[in-house]
Structure 1
Amino acid sequence: MTPSSVAAEPAPPSPERTNHKGRGGTWALALGAIGVVFGDIGTSPLYALQTVFSINHNTVDPTPQDVYGVISLVFWSITLVVTVKYVLFILRADNDGEGGVLSLAHLTRQHLRRGSKRYTLVMMLGVIGASLFYGDSLITPAISVLSAVEGLKVANPALGDLVLPIGMTIVVALFVLQRFGTAAVGRFFGPIMITWFVVLAALGIPHILAEPAVIGALSPHHAVLFAVDRPFVAFVAMGAVVLVITGAEALYADMGHFGRAPIRRAWFLLVFPCLTLNYLGQGQLILADPEMSTSPFFHLAPESMRIPLVVLATLATVIASQAVISGAFSVSRQAERLGYLPRLTVRYTSDHGGQIYVPVVNWLLFGGVLLLMVTFRESERLATAYGLAVTATLLLTTALFAVYADTALKWSPARVGAFVLVFGSIEAVFFAANLTKITHGGWLPLTIAAIIGTVMLTWWRGRALVTARRSKLEGPLRPLLNTIASKGVTTVPGTAVFLHGNPATAPLALRDNVSFNHVAHEQILIVTTLSRNVPHVGPEDRVMIGARRHKGVAITHLTLNFGFQDSQDVPSALALAHERGVNVDPDTAFYFLSRITLHRSDRPGMSQWRKRIFVALAHNAASPTEYFHLPIDRTVLMGTQVRF
């Protein structure tokens, strides 16, 4: 345990971050958004309709009524959930430029009374949402890559046995290359995905022109007739139709990278129209030849173009996978800074703070994705496991935004109720339809979310218990200053920096140095790092300075504020403090850390099995020296035991 484990109080957003994305130009950012934000939802045509018409042994038939009903459901699901809910409403929930369910939860908590029932509930919803996101991060690379490579079977059935080995090879390369970062490759993502969306439209248009009547499927009355005439079939179909909106959360989660306006512009001008044209084309193809319902996407292309289409689809799915993996890195860092995960080793792969690599998350995802591919082997089987994570996240976002709209946006109760009624009812149907698939793989994302949620809540609770026990061991600072002022303690030259999480108590490392070594440094700084509930804290707000003098002993207190997207570089922050008049040279100061050894006890507060998990997490936390960017040759670790 180190100062980073102390709970952070929320701070107001930093003004310099609000409009920082405008410098690159809206159109350039829109290009970047196409390359990153829309990868997941843009590759859904590969497997969505195929899954709809293959569920339950073709319960959904390739008849005009069913095809028109399904296409209508697809179009209006994208229109209502993605366009109206996310693009027009959810993107308004701007946590200092950042988005995502965990960020939304903490943004909402700023407007609630601490300790209230809604305050606790919002925290729980945020943790559950983040946990479900990890399930999505496992399934997306597996299903996307497999669905793309499976196009080889359409081009040449003899190549079917190569699908899994090729898919696994692509996944291995994808995760191995993560440590190099996406900065160098990122500029190529936009043009590739623009090509992908143009190809989606080009594949659909000829089939629409062959039978223009299929455009009528966009009318909502076809979805209504389908649901009224065949309610059970329509209900089951909804469990697969939800696949067309997978990736909707990325619109919000990646808002901090590109901004609200570029995402909206890219969606309305390119992505939404191209998706619509492709789904219409697939619908017409299924009507013209029902046998094509087993793989309608690749059959849209002429036979001579299917291999190039497989190559392009594979590139698109790699980009989609890259986006969700990068999202998992960002969510992990947010969770760690907000107190739900232990310290993580984070490597910055470019000058832009959003380009990060988290080794432990990367390799855990890598192992999970390979396991899924080997277990399920086909994208169609994986699709049955996909919907629950997506629909549960949709419902959580709706609930959190409703609280945010009530408390922060000051919506009227009627307006909040209408929002929940419209979108909550749609998403509740999606969720209920996917519950029918629990025994066929739907258990997977729920299990993943349950495990990760338990880990996050265990760390949050255990951290509170250990912090309370540690505070008792540390004791108040004044008696220690009396000891330092006594003749039995020798003052030595130099500056000692003690990283300490609680300014009201004495650092254990300082207490041990005085008690056992009987020395104290001439210049003593007690430094507390706080993770604020904003993505970034500007240099002008980084350092808060305080001082205390008792019996001739001077202590300087520094509080260093970091956003959950900032690197907690203590020496750099001390350089800022030096510029503001603090007598400290980061290049010569010695840094002292209290290294805690945890022991389980019979004390109440948490069950023994959760205490075991907490101890294991603490033992595997990132090195505090590396985490705080401290110089190894001038950092001293002093050990203490804590029973909790």
Structure 2
Amino acid sequence: MVIGDGILTPCISDSIVWISAAILVGLFMVQRFGAGKVGYTFAPILCIWFLFISGIGVYNFIKYDPTVLKALNPKYIIDYFKRNSLDAWISLGGVILATTGAEALFADLGHFSVWSIQISMCCVVYPSITIAYIGQASFLRKNNDLVGDTFYKSIPGPVYWPMFVVSVLAAIIASQSLISDFLHNPTIPLSRVLPLCEIVHTSPKYAGQVYVPEVNYILMLACLGVTLGFRTTAKIGNAFGIAVVFVMSITSCLLVLIMIMVWKSSLLYIIGYVVVIGFVELIYLSSVLYKFKEGGYLPLAFATILMAIMLLWNYVYKRKYYYELNNKISPERLKEIATNEKICRIPGLAMFYSELVQGIPPIFEHYVKNVPAMHSVLIFVSKKSLPISSIPVEERFLFRRIDTDGVNVYRCVARYGYRDARSEEEPFEKILIERLKDFIREDLAVNEGERLEAVAREIEVLDQACFSGVVYLIGESEVVAKQGSNLVKKIVIDQAYNFMKKNLRQSNMMLDIPHARMLKVGMIYEL
């Protein structure tokens, strides 16, 4: 639903379609600079915006009708519903648009601290907006024929054009914030729930500030499609209202789980929260759903499509992972393969990439059966990304020896922070081999004379293997539904999953492996 919110917020910012489209393209083009840099650029404009709307609100309040403060009395809401009944309930769908933006506060935690959000919301945002609405109410008391364009009509003449410019910029900023929230890095690794995407971390300090090129451009096309397709802010507003209320309601449901499982709150406190907050949100939700046919279906359609993709990808991802886990090669089996006289040992060093941190993937045995040869040194490499900005080079690699009776086989986990990147100044291959030599020196801890001899012998084998050449072996597993599977499973695995995999970013692009020394090993997994 946040995705629906992120798509609709930019679309509703301007009523002139082609101007909106031009602004949207420009807005998405600056996303590569990161939320932090864009935010610092926009911050002064927002300060001016809040100063303007609160100042104009005070002006209108004093000039037109200060008695509007009586509207704070709940009695008038009750009277309003008595007079209008069904129409009053329907109007709540429009009222909810006055609270938009609050539903995205949870995602802002990826970009700002809790204190900064609380201070800015309570001391700046909420007071300024409240004063602005009170001022507009005062204005409407004397100009009730200008309901359709209250905001601009209530601006005093001398500040109209400065306010117009600031308003356009503020609308762009509102769109920017939702786009940033949409691209917020989730706590679950993306590869488990979505096809592979390039994730660019734009801040060395905050892990949540990310730029995902593929998603950014898909979001831009979706925004342009909605803007050019709906063309009116009325329909977009209906869809926007549903997205906002659903985000609030789902957040409240998740908060109840937090209260039960994490905070261990008392049962009475939880029931009180559900009754009060749930009642209010249920009323608003029922009101916005009234406009379902008039554009309200759009965010639900977005959510349904994305959830279908995520569920499909996660289903096959888990089955594939458990297949490898259940069919992994044991150390004993690897020892049999390594010492088999029919297996030819060829000079060189091979790095076999695998997602498995524990155990050897079944694709390796498939490779040896079809190509009965092993390099003189074999390293099984797993690359893992950690949720910290950087890992020192000396701590990046974790090694473990696989006991194969003198055959040089190792396991390596290469750990990277989100700001670590491979480069010519920091060659991956050279650093890995140097760290492997350090591991060999530390691992062969026997008595002094034997230790020096064993270390020298093993390092010499490693140097000779590197001199003969280093090759990267990439396991490329294809998945198919096993025989006897039902039709749904065949469509999910054979058609939908494989279509997404073939048309999106490949794993070797994510690993940044030199193509000249890369060999792909294929195997079919029957799931």
TM-score normalised to structure 2 length: 0.83
Which one-letter code corresponds to 1:168 in the other structure?
Answer: A
Which one-letter code corresponds to 1:582 in the other structure?
Answer: F
- Is the aligned partner of 1:615 residue 2:508? no
Q: Is the CA contact (8 Å cut-off) linking 2:473 and 2:520 kept in structure 1? A: yes
CA deviation after TM superposition for structure 1 residue 513, in Å:
4.5
Q: Is the CA contact (8 Å cut-off) linking 2:94 and 2:241 kept in structure 1? A: yes
Q: Higher Cα Rg: structure 1 or 2?
A: 2
- Residue in 1 that maps onto 2:472: 591
Structure 2: distance between partners of 1:579 and 1:227: 74
- Residue in 2 that maps onto 1:316: 170
- Residue in 1 that maps onto 2:369: 515
Q: Is the CA contact (8 Å cut-off) linking 2:328 and 2:361 kept in structure 1? A: yes
- Is the aligned partner of 1:411 residue 2:265? yes
Residue correspondence of structure 1 range 413-562 to structure 2 within 5 A: 413-471=267-325, 475-508=329-362, 510-529=364-383, 535-536=387-388, 539=391, 545-559=399-413
Q: Is the CA contact (8 Å cut-off) linking 1:391 and 1:427 kept in structure 2? A: yes
- Residue in 2 that maps onto 1:216: 70
Q: Flag the structure with more relative contact order, 1 or 2, with Cα contacts below 8 A and sequence separation at least 6.
A: 1
Q: Deviations over 1:430-463 (max 9, x none)?
A: 1111110111111111111111111111111111
CA deviation after TM superposition for structure 1 residue 322, in Å:
1.6
- Residue in 2 that maps onto 1:165: 18
- Residue in 2 that maps onto 1:77: none
Which has the higher mean CA deviation after the structures are superposed, 452-461 or 278-287?
278-287
- Is the aligned partner of 1:372 residue 2:240? no
For structure 1, which runs of at least 5 residues remain unmatched after alignment? 1-131, 151-162
- Residue in 1 that maps onto 2:53: 200
Q: Is the CA contact (8 Å cut-off) linking 2:10 and 2:175 kept in structure 1? A: yes
Aligned Cα RMSD in Å? 3.3
| Alpha carbons of structure 1 residues 226 and 556: separation in structure 2 relative to 1, 3 Å | farther
Which of 579, 582, 595 is residue 439 of structure 2 equivalent to? 582
Q: Deviations over 1:272-314 (max 9, x none)?
A: 1101111111112222111211011111213454343232112
Q: Deviations over 1:407-428 (max 9, x none)?
A: 1111111112222222122111
Which of 102, 123, 132 is residue 248 of structure 1 equivalent to? 102
| Alpha carbons of structure 1 residues 528 and 442: separation in structure 2 relative to 1, 3 Å | same
Which one-letter code corresponds to 1:384 in the other structure?
Answer: N
Q: Deviations over 1:243-300 (max 9, x none)?
A: 1222223221121321101111111121111011111111122221112110111112
Q: Secondary structure of the residue that 1:364 maps to in structure 2? A: helix
- Is the aligned partner of 1:186 residue 2:68? no
Q: Deviations over 1:583-604 (max 9, x none)?
A: 6999996432111233445554
- Residue in 1 that maps onto 2:446: none
CA deviation after TM superposition for structure 1 residue 238, in Å:
1.6
| Alpha carbons of structure 1 residues 621 and 470: separation in structure 2 relative to 1, 3 Å | farther
Structure 2: distance between partners of 1:568 and 1:458: 31
- Is the aligned partner of 1:136 residue 2:8? no
Structure 2: distance between partners of 1:202 and 1:260: 28
Identity %: 25
Structure 2: distance between partners of 1:342 and 1:568: 21
Residue correspondence of structure 1 range 73-112 to structure 2 within 5 A: none
- Is the aligned partner of 1:630 residue 2:484? no
Q: Deviations over 1:110-159 (max 9, x none)?
A: xxxxxxxxxxxxxxxxxxxxxx1111111111012x1xxx4xxxxxxxxx
Which of 116, 122, 132 is residue 278 of structure 1 equivalent to? 132
CA deviation after TM superposition for structure 1 residue 330, in Å:
2.2
Q: Is the CA contact (8 Å cut-off) linking 2:327 and 2:361 kept in structure 1? A: no
- Residue in 2 that maps onto 1:381: 235
Which one-letter code corresponds to 2:19 in the other structure?
Answer: I
- Residue in 2 that maps onto 1:337: 190
TM-score normalised to structure 1 length: 0.69
Q: Is the CA contact (8 Å cut-off) linking 1:208 and 1:215 kept in structure 2? A: no
| Alpha carbons of structure 1 residues 600 and 136: separation in structure 2 relative to 1, 3 Å | same
Structure 1: distance between partners of 2:227 and 2:484: 44
| Alpha carbons of structure 1 residues 493 and 294: separation in structure 2 relative to 1, 3 Å | same
Q: Is the CA contact (8 Å cut-off) linking 2:235 and 2:296 kept in structure 1? A: no
Structure 2: distance between partners of 1:578 and 1:337: 32
Q: Is the CA contact (8 Å cut-off) linking 2:346 and 2:375 kept in structure 1? A: yes
- Residue in 1 that maps onto 2:445: none
